[in-house]
Amino acid sequence: MNKLINRLSRSSRYSLLRSAALGGSSATVPEGYLPLYVGDEMERFVVNADLLNHPLFINLLDKSAQEYGYQQKGVLRIPCHVIIFRRLMEALRVGEEASNDVKIHRLLLKSRFRTHKKADADLFFVPSYVKCVRMMGGLNDKEINHTYVKVLSQMPYFRLSGGRDHIFVFPSGAGAHLFKSWATYINRSIILTPEGDRTDKRDTSAFNTWKDIIIPGNVDDGITTNGARLVEPLPLSKRRYLANYLGRAQGKAGRLQLIDLAKQFPDKLECPELKFSGPDKLGRTDYFLHLRNAKFCLAPRGESSWTLRFYESFFVECVPVLLSDHAELPFQNVVDYSQISIKWPSSRIGNQLLEYLESIPDKRIEEMIARGRKLRCLWVYAPDSEPCSAFSAILWELQRKTRRFHHSPETFWLHNGSIVNRDLVEFYKWKPPMPLP
């Protein structure tokens, strides 16, 4: 692969906006901070200047440039609803923005494979943070759909290829269904998602095994780091339980069966029914302290087939037991999951499962954990300078999908090699908004 381009943070012209913001700071603004004026109300916010380089702010700067121009005088205006902006700021403070779609965006911004020259790019990354926006109440489904279509109509290279060389990340079990018209507009594009099946609320999957890529879930950085971690694994001999499942029941059959099984065998299986809040909610550290206290970590299906516990298991060094029949796993062309995990039929959750796990010798468990220890770097979103990371593996998968030539039903070519549209206008003269393929 030659290079990747980040589509929406595309130009050094953003330095003009940053300069305008910094230049507009007054004596009442602390050093290292700057004032922003948000929405039609022109409500004033004072934010850390470092945030201007954050992916969320890069998108806001893009909108600001489109709305007010790159050479704003006096103050930097942000065309964003005040309520949405407050929620985005809250997300930045508590770190909720760092889902894997944000992590991939951050890593691409710093990647040696990134190019600012669109003509040199093999692939185009389109950051959207759709899950974050939807969960935080920024846009409803109709508004999300409208925004996607509007943005896509501004992208000449998307029309050129029909979207085949454009990359979208959908980091939840809902997959591309968060964009309701995905099947119309981005059905040819490359989708990165941890979900290869569907949620229980959808009849079909948006995942296509021939063009899309399964990515690892977003494991807490506190246990993936090579330095001081939230918790360290326990020796097998000091683990209290044979197996555990830590999660909410959600009314799902497999999870409810595990909770009932734990009541029958409380010395073998830890399976409290956790809550979002209140006394039954576990904090980050407590969660991993419990997770590490079993030889096997059970990962049943929830609202959709993928489960974060599968990936977390490798970092507390319990053997993951996948109880989700339709789950897809990342990087199957290089990882033999039968050597580092167990997949058990969800229809056979019961005494037989515990008897089987109990029959596995500790030596075999240690061997599986040791092999998993060597491969777990593939679940960590680290820079491409690292010899092993989820990001490097994703780039490796992406380079296999590059093409020398792209076209769509709305692109044509002439004897001299020039690409034209239906009106025989050459590609470099195409002006947005454009009809979508």
Please identify, among 149, 179, 214, the residue that sits at the C-terminal boundary of a domain: 214
Q: Which two tokens mark 139?
A: 């846009």
Residues 302 and 209 in one domain: no
Co-location of 185 and 327 in the same domain: no
Closest CA to 49 of 32, 71, 72, 30: 32
Q: State pTM to two decimals.
A: 0.78
State the DSSP code for 49: G
Residue 226 shares a structural domain with residue 294: yes
For 247-298, give the secondary structure using H, E and C: ECCCCCHHHHHHHHHHHHCCCCEECCECCCCCCCCCCHHHHHHHHCCEEEEE
- Pairing relationship of beta strands 4-6 and 123-125 according to DSSP bridges: parallel
Indicate whether 420 belongs to any domain.
Answer: no
Query: Is the same domain home to 208 and 253?
Result: no
User: pLDDT tens digits for 23-76?
Assistant: 444 446 777 777 888 888 888 888 877 677 665 677 777 778 777 765 566 678
Total domain count, the chain? 3
State which of 364, 379, 394 marks the end of a domain.
379
Give per-residue pLDDT as tens, 137-184: 567 889 889 889 988 998 999 999 999 999 999 988 888 998 999 999
Q: How far apart are CA 403 and CA 408, in angstroms?
A: 13
Among 63-67, 76-80, 91-95, 98-102, name the most confident range.
76-80
Torsion, Cα 288 289 294 298, to 10 degrees, reads -30
- Which one of 162, 185, 214 terminates a domain? 214
Lowest mean pLDDT, pick from 142-151, 230-239, 316-325, 408-417:
142-151
Q: How confident is the model at residue 136 (pLDDT cuts 50, 70, 90)?
A: low
pLDDT tens profile 279-307: 667 788 899 999 999 999 999 999 889 99
Q: DSSP letters of 378-408?
A: GGS---TTSSS-HHHHHHHHHHTT--S----
Question: Listing from the earlier edge strand, what are the strands of the sheet with 294-300?
Answer: 269-270, 241-244, 294-300, 319-323, 342-343
Q: Tens digits of per-residue pLDDT, 214-258?
A: 999 999 888 998 767 889 999 999 999 999 999 888 899 999 999
Q: How confident is the model at residue 372 (pLDDT cuts 50, 70, 90)?
A: very high
CA distance 377 to 392: 10
Q: How much of the chain, in percent, has pLDDT values that exceed 70?
A: 84
Q: What pLDDT score does 307 carry? A: 92
On whether both 113 and 69 belong to a single domain, the answer is no
User: Tokens representing 106?
Assistant: 């951050």
Whole-angstrom distance, CA of residue 100 vs CA of residue 330: 14
Domain span holding position 193: 100-214
Mean pLDDT of the chain, nearest integer: 85
Which whole-number Å values give the CA distances from 385 to 217, 382, 395, in the listed order? Answer: 21, 8, 12
